[in-house]
Amino acid sequence: MAPDEAPHEVAARALSEIEGARDLQELDRIRARYLGRKDGLLTLHRRNLGRITDPEAKRQLGQTVNELVARVEDALAEAHAVLLQQAEERALRDEAIDLTVPAPPLRRGALHPVTRAARDIRRIFGHLGYTAVGGPEIEYDRYNFELVNQPEGHPARDLQDTFYVDDARLLRTHTSPVQIRAMVALGAPLKVIVPGKTYRRDNDPTHSPMFHQVEGLYVDEDVSLADLKGTLEFFARSMFGPSRAIRLRPHHFPFTEPSLEVDVSCMVCGGDGCGTCKGSGWIEILGSGMVHPEVLRNGGVDPDRYSGFAFGMGIERIAQLAYGIDDVRLLYENDVRFIRQT
C-alpha cells in the first residue's frame, strides 16, 4: 500500500472490484486482498491507527476506517448472495431432467455360467432321484484324505497342491469328504450329489485356485457298472444334447475300484475331430468308478451287503464345454458383457 493512499480510496477500489466480480472464487480473492487478517489493505489502515498520537485524529480516522470496512463487508455479503444464487441456477439448469424424455430400456440380468451349469446339474440328477447335500469347506485332514483312501505320503496331500489351515485342517480339495459324512449320517441305501466349492493351488487357463465340483454317490444292493454307465449317459445327453455319446476309459482313483474316466463325444465336431477335442472326437468330462470297499467301511456301510458308484466333475469344466468358453479365468473376471452373452 502506498503511504499516501487514503482509506476511502482503498475502499472505493474494493467496491468497484466487488461489483465486477464474476464468480465466488474471484469474490474470495477480493475479500482476502482488502480484509485479509495479516495484509489486507483496509486491515493495514486499522493497524496504522496505533501510530497516531493525537487522540481526536485517531478517533476520527478510526471511525472512518471502521465505516469503510463495514461498507466493504456489506458489499461482499450482498455480492456473495447474488453470485451464489446465480451458481445454483446454473447448476439446476445444467442438471435439469426432462421428464418427457422416454426412459432407457431396462437391461435384464443374466445368471453366471457357473450358476446356470450348477442348476442344470442339480436338475438333471434330481430327475434320477439324487438329493443334494453339503459339508464344510474347511475340512479335517481325516475326512478329506484318510477316509477316502489317500493316506500319508499320497501326492495329493503335498503342500504345493493343498491349502492347509493347520496340521489337522485344510480347505477341502474335493467334495469327496461329504460322501463319507453322508454315509455316516444317512446310512445305506443312499443317492446324493454334493455340489460345492473346492480349493487347490492351481491358476492357469483351465484351472482356478477356487472352483466348484459336484460329487455323486449311489449306494444300494447290487449296484453295478451298468448302473453307472446308464446314469452318466443320461447326464451327458441331458446336459450336452441328445446326440452325445460317452466313452469309459480305465483310470485310477484311490477311492474307487475299478476307476474310470468318462469322455463325451465332441459337441463341436460331433466326433469327427477338431481343435476343441484335439482331433480325437472325445472330450473328458469327469472321473468315476465303483466305490472302494474300504471307503464304504469308513462311511459305516457294510461292503458285503452294499455296493455303489461315485463320480465327480468340475462345474466350471461343464460350463466351459456347454457354453463354448475357452478360458476358465473368464468366469471370474466379472465382465457383465461376458456374462450377458452366455
What would the pLDDT profile of 245-259 be if each residue is shown by its tens digit? 899 999 998 899 999
Examine the pLDDT at 8 and tell me if it is beyond 90: no
Residue with cell 489337522: 168
Interior/surface letters 200-209, b for 16+ CB within 10 angstroms, e for the rest: beeeeeeebe
Same domain, 81 and 169: no
pLDDT tens for 73-115 read: 899 899 899 989 988 888 888 877 778 888 888 877 788 899 9
Task: Supply the DSSP symbol for 51.
Answer: G
pTM above 0.85, yes or no: no
- CA-closest candidate to residue 277, choices 228, 240, 332, 330: 240
Greater pLDDT, 51 or 206: 51
Mean pLDDT along residues 266-279: 79
**Residue at 49 is within a domain:** yes
Q: What percent of the chain has pLDDT over 70?
A: 95
- Residues 231, 141: Cα–Cα separation, whole Å: 31
Grade residue 213 by pLDDT with cuts at 50, 70 and 90. very high
Residues 74 and 138 both lie in one domain: no
Q: Which of 302, 338, 103 is nearest to 187 (CA)?
A: 302
C-alpha to C-alpha distance for 44 and 47, rounded to whole angstroms: 5
Rounded to whole angstroms, the Cα distance separating 234 from 129 reads 13
Mean pLDDT of 299-322: 93
Q: Tell me, what DSSP letter sits at residue 204?
A: B
pLDDT of residue 207: 66
CB contact at 8 A, 285 and 263: yes
- Residue 201 predicted with pLDDT over 60: yes
My answer on whether 158 and 281 are in the same domain is yes
84 and 126 belong to one structural domain: no
Q: What is the pLDDT of residue 307?
A: 96
pLDDT score for 290: 96
State which residues form the domain around 237.
Answer: 114-341
Do 113 and 331 form a contact (C-beta atoms < 8 A)? yes
- Domain assignment present for residue 105? The answer is no
DSSP state for residue 165 in the 8-state scheme: S
- Please give the pLDDT value at position 216: 96
Phi, psi angle pair for 251, to nearest 5°: -150, -170
Q: In the predicted model, is pLDDT for residue 3 greater than 60?
A: no
Nearest residue to 176 (alpha-carbon basis) of 69, 261, 251, 253: 253
Same domain, 188 and 308: yes
Q: How many CA atoms lie within 13 A of 128 on its CB side?
A: 23
Residue 142, burial from CB neighbour count under 10 angstroms (0-12, 13-18, 19+): middle
Among 94, 122, 156, identify where a domain stops. 94
* Tens digit of each residue's pLDDT (9 = 90 or more) over 144-195: 999 998 877 766 666 567 888 998 999 999 999 999 999 999 999 999 999 9
Number of domains in the chain: 2
Better-predicted residue by pLDDT, 281 or 204? 281
Residue 237 located in a structural domain: yes
Whether 143 and 11 map to the same domain: the answer is no
For residue 263, the Cα-to-chain-centroid distance in whole angstroms is 32
